[in-house]
Amino acid sequence: MKICIDCDDAAVNLKKVLFEHLKNKGVDITDLNYSEGKENAMYPEIGYNLAKEIQAGNYDRGISICGTGLGMAMIANKVEGVFAGTCHDVFSAERLRKSNDAQVITMGERVIGPELAKTIIDAWLVSEFAGGGSAPKVAQMRELEKLSFHPQNK
């Protein structure tokens, strides 16, 4: 599994912690580091860039971090085919994958501490889409997403 990670200026410390944690566990992780060399890069473009990498199939999953995680989730969900959610607890992170088949998890450095963040990411990475009763709901989300991105095909 190939993972990418990125953050805005409000989450540099948490990104470093999670990157090192996953690297030490042998996870294939890439720091996209979108803002390097760019003046005033803001979370919308950073989160969008990460989501576009997921959409292109360059990575299987992504971790996007800002002050709260909320803005990163909002922008990632604007990219067709990408599902993202903000998680600050283990149960939600597991459900993000098992029930919603989301490829991107977002977090907020101003909301969560580094040790809990590691635990949450570990749980998210070992979780897979369970299908079952969630499968028709995810399929419906994908169909509604098509209406949003391609309204001419109603």
Burial class for 118, CB neighbours closer than 10 Å (0-12, 13-18, 19+) = middle
Residues 90 and 116: their CA atoms lie apart, in Å, by 9
Residues 57 and 51: their CA atoms lie apart, in Å, by 10
Residues 52 and 105: their CA atoms lie apart, in Å, by 14
Contact between 79 and 48 under an 8 Å Cβ cutoff? The reply is yes
Contact between 80 and 53 under an 8 Å Cβ cutoff? The reply is no
- Is 87 tagged catalytic? no
Closest among 39, 19, 38 to 28, alpha carbons compared: 19
Of 4, 7, 66, 87, the active-site residue reads 66
For residue 92, the surrounding DSSP H or E stretch is helix 90-98
As annotated, the active-site residues are 66
